[in-house]
Amino acid sequence: MPEDGPGSGDNAIVAYIDGWADTRRIQARLSNSSPDDHEAAWHTEHATPAEPVTVTPEPSEAR
């Protein structure tokens, strides 16, 4: 039974779409992978690497 309240409509829409879409079926248009696998590969390919942290040492006194 669906819950009433804020955001419950969004959940109902997602549940409806998930009922009709087959996310596990292999798709020829997606390089013969499932939609879930294709999306995961896209996110892996387009992930932005973290900026390297540069540490600048403070000058030390002359010895």
pLDDT given for residue 1 in this prediction: 46
Number of H helices and E strands in the chain, helices first, is 2, 0
What confidence category does residue 36 fall into, taking pLDDT thresholds of 50, 70 and 90? confident
Asked if residue 26 lies in contact with residue 33, where contact means CB atoms within 8 angstroms, the answer is: yes
Provide the Cα torsion 20, 9, 11, 34; round to 10°.
Answer: 30
The torsion angles phi and psi of 36, rounded to 5 degrees, stand at -65, -45
The pTM assigned to this predicted structure is 0.41
Please check the confidence at residue 57 and state whether its pLDDT lies above 50: yes
Domain ranges of the chain: 8-44
pLDDT per position as a tens digit, 2-23: 555 566 678 888 888 777 777 6
* Spatial separation of the C-alpha atoms in residues 61 and 35, rounded to whole Å: 60
